[in-house]
Amino acid sequence: MALVSPLSAEHDLETKELATFFNETLGFCPNSVLTMQRRPAISKAFINLNKAVMANEGNVTSALKRMIAWVSSNATGCRYCQAHAIRAAERYGAEQEQLDNIWDYKTHPAFSNAERAALDFSLAASMVPNAVNAEIKKELYKYWDEGEIVEMLGVISLFGYLNRWNDSMGTTMEEGAVESGNQYLGKHGFEVGKHDGSKY
């Protein structure tokens, strides 16, 4: 069971209206947002930040942003966010071969060198202690401009917040996210863990 239970989607109508964004990205409003609305200022600020971070301003595609989120969430171990990120990557048009081989992005031919540089950045920026260094910067600047790097770090930072929130809350994973996690991550031992609604 989650540390704090989510509230009904009807609890805060402003949050509900903003949360229609997630119907496109996930097909449902996440339980994390339904929990945040116990303090509506937090849920509303979070949704607006999410929308700003995920907006496409350059060449960082919606699918790549979600794969960046997956790598970040994998580095921190948050199963809830891993499942949500891979589901959103699928819904935003990530190639099937990339979805099936996200664990092997460093070597799999489905990923370009530009995508590898972005995903390596996500991994390094998500580690504790932080591992972003001159080599990561050099690789990023081969393929991406400064605005695009800011977009990427926005995704990584947003998911840093979500990874802490959802793993600490033990947020119950929604059925659609469980399906996506099992489909794309199951061969590498994906499990719902504390997010199954009864183990926390």
Domain ranges for the chain: 59-196
What does the H/E/C string look like for 133-191?
A: CHHHHHHHHHHCCHHHHHHHHHHHHHHHHHHHHHHHHCCCCCHHHHHHHHHHHHHHCCC
**What gap in Å lies between CA 161 and CA 185, rounded to an integer?**
22
**What gap in Å lies between CA 29 and CA 8, rounded to an integer?**
10
**What gap in Å lies between CA 83 and CA 70, rounded to an integer?**
8
Considering only CA atoms, which of 102, 75, 97 is closest in space to residue 86? 102
What tokens does 85 get? 């990120």
For residues 144-166, give the mean pLDDT.
98
Query: What are the tens digits of pLDDT across the range 32-74?
Result: 999 999 999 999 999 999 999 999 998 999 999 999 999 999 9
**What gap in Å lies between CA 149 and CA 142, rounded to an integer?**
11
* Total number of residues shown for the chain: 200
CATH topology of domain 59-196: AhpD-like (1.20.1290)
pTM, full prediction: 0.94
